[in-house]
Chain A
Amino acid sequence: MFRSRPACYAFLRTHILTHMNSKIVSALRPWLVLVLVCGAFSLHPGFLHTFWTRDYLPTIAQQAATNVILAVGLTFVILTGGIDLSVGSVLALCGVALGLSLKGGVPPFLAMLMALPLGVGVAFFVSKLTMRDHRDNKISTVISGACGLIITAVCGFLFARSLASGQSLIIALGATVLVGIACGFINGAVIAWANVPPFVVTLGMFTAARGLTVYATDGQSVSELPPQLGQFGQGTGLVSIALFVIVCGAILQMKTVAGRYIQALGSNEQAARLSGVNVERYKALAYVLSGLTAAIAAIVLTAKFGVADTGAGTGAELNAIAAVVIGGTSLSGGRGSVVGSLVGALTIAVLNSGLVLVQVPDTLQGVIIGVVIVVIVVVDQLQKGKS
């Protein structure tokens, strides 16, 4: 029927997709996919009568929550055209950091990691101050670097001492977030300033963070955590944390300069640089955000199960990447949205539990999910080719 494959695509584009306004469609498309998935499942009575109930819908939100949180951070990384393979491992490390901070026994290297973001923050601040006074980059770099190192060392020492015994919930949560930021910063710094491909750097972090997790705990899971932690892992607590992360992420992406710079540098790095964007800084920021969301996901997951174990988050990075991609964010960067990733993560959660509800044999479930992900992205490509 068609002389060539491009002719076939052209036919599809002109006859099926033309009447859709591409801009509205690209914003609505993830929602359409979600509606389609829910609609298709609803044809089955087993899904229809269980899924759309007041008991069950919150369950889906809870099942999707960790992936939603991870996907929000990862969206920024993918918007820069990069990738972060380390989120699952960083999640495990943060979970263990949380457990050990609460129960006591944080090893010194973990305390140093917690101090790193503080040191970097001080170094950044000092460099701003000294730059203004001396107008000399070299001296300023040395001074700020030294300040950063000193702060890292001092804070690390203090952390190591105070976290050797168990600490209150709020301090432990702070420590967890610092670990996530530190891992993200290391990723981002090596990628942006040393110019190493993100795939390689985050693959290294993927292995190293998992290794550190095992090293810190000797492979034992940290259990018997205080019951107050549980409130973050279920019901309203869990859903409101996830909502908070989405809202902050969406505002950051759409309404702030940083968000627009990140998107701009992913779309055309050279152009962004020439128009005065500090490309390295915003690239690194994207990975820091990814580390931060990994830490929040770790808090939620650890709270949900009351256990911080070294195997947590295995394969979580792939689920998060799938959510971002289904959400319409392009893996080559520059195009996409945080809200899309939320919908992507919800779609994956509905797929996962829908297949159980309609009683698809478990041996087939993986195949179906895999095929659906690829089909969604293929349709996305067809539509993108048109605009």
Chain B
Amino acid sequence: MKRILVCGALALSLAGCNSGTEKTEVSSAPSPSSAPSSAPPVAVQSTSVTTAELDKIVKPKEVYKLALVVKTRNNPFFSPMIKEAESEAKKLGMILEVQAPAQETDKEKQFAIVQDLTARKVDAILIAPADSKAIVPALKKAEDAGITVINLDNRVDAAAAKTGGLKPLSYVGADNEAGGKIAGKAMLKALNNKGKVAVLEGIRGADNAEARKRGFQSAVKDKLEIVASESANWDTQQAYNKTQSILAAHSDVQGLFCANDKMALGAMKAIAEAGKKGKVVVIGYDNIPDVKPYLQSGEMKATIDQHPDSMGGYGVKMAVGALTKTAPAGRELLVPLQVITK
């Protein structure tokens, strides 16, 4: 199993990640490590915390009640996060409960869940917000009630937090823009720095979708020509349709970046049906289990793994660290991004 660890993304400052475009410095360094959540070498800044620091946290005497609130369970991205958080909580002797709205876009239900957890006075809330701005008032109330809040995955909007009077939250997540850049670099490598490519974007306006697109664009700028950039709303079926149209309109397209693997599945089906299997370089994102056979057959060149499992695990560690005062609060951890090629 050949995996390339990308660690430079860890060295990001808290402020620079949500809106900046050119603040990320990504360096890819080959590493023999095959365990994704083992501590990689890390460059530290004052606002960030290292995985090594968090790994030192031991099982405390007290038992704390933690609540993990994700966007929804209907998205395979969150299952490894939930699983790892549950097993980590077990290891540290914590009680962890998971809450999630039925629909990913239901920010109102998520808001209500946070209110209810606050009323119940859990010790810590770990949250992947459905909306990075809308959740702020609920989190402020939780913080006022003395609850430790840890932000996972989708970062709470810095400006909204400031107006809402929220203190800087502890954060565990991935840098989607850096991920997009890595995908762009993989594409450059596969196409020898020249050619025509297309992009299948996620839902327009969603932070992670925009960041992945931005990262990819900035990586391939001036080298590859992006002939089409369409949104398939993270959806396999829509990606299939969009890819068919893209291939019809641009028969000479040589590469396709799909902002998630679910879309890549649809795209690869369309590519195969057009008789272009292997002629179009497909790069995906998320490394869901379904793409494994495609990576092995070479139909998919690479995919980016954001390690939601580490987000869950280190989120729990961070919460315990903050509750027992063994690790500083208000810091952030960016989990290592990986390019998976096989």
Contacts and interface: CB of A to CB of B under 8 A. Distances in A.
Nearest to A353: B116
Given A220-B205, A363-B73, A301 B108 contact: yes
A276 to B, nearest CB: 44
Contacts, number: 80
A86 B246 CA distance: 33
B98 interface: yes
Given A223-B133, A306-B160, A46 B120 contact: yes
Contacts of A311: 105, 107
Given A59-B115, A315-B106, A307 B137 contact: no
A305 B119 contact: no
A357 B106 contact: no
B119 A219 contact: no
Contacts of A306: 133-134, 160
Contacts of B204: 214, 218-220
Q: Which of B99, B120, B231 has the most CB of A within 10 A?
A: B120
B73 A362 contact: yes
A353 B112 contact: yes
A56 to B, nearest CB: 5
B134 A359 contact: no
A366 B119 contact: no
B108 A50 contact: no
Interface string B176-209: 0000000000000000000000000001110000
Contacts of B163: 227
A60 to B, nearest CB: 9
A55 interface: yes
A63 interface: yes
B89 to A, nearest CB: 15
A224 B164 CA distance: 12
Interface in B99-134: 99-100, 102-103, 105-109, 111-113, 115-117, 119-121, 131, 133-134
Interface in B190-238: 203-205, 231
Contact of B100 (A219, A314, A362): A362
B229 to A, nearest CB: 13
B202 to A, nearest CB: 10
B237 to A, nearest CB: 16
A140 interface: no
Given A301-B108, A362-B100, A366-B102, A307 B131 contact: yes
B164 to A, nearest CB: 9
Contacts of A359: 97
* A-B pairs, 3 with minimum CB distance: A219-B204, A305-B134, A311-B105
19 contacts: A50-B120, A56-B119, A63-B112, A66-B108, A218-B204, A218-B205, A219-B204, A219-B205, A223-B133, A224-B159, A305-B107, A305-B131, A305-B134, A307-B134, A315-B102, A353-B116, A357-B119, A357-B120, A362-B99
Given A219-B205, A307-B131, A357-B120, 19 more contacts: A46-B120, A50-B119, A50-B120, A63-B115, A218-B205, A221-B205, A223-B133, A301-B108, A305-B111, A305-B133, A306-B160, A309-B107, A315-B102, A356-B113, A356-B116, A356-B117, A357-B116, A357-B119, A362-B100
Interface of B: 73, 97-100, 102-103, 105-109, 111-113, 115-117, 119-121, 131, 133-134, 137, 159-160, 163, 203-205, 231
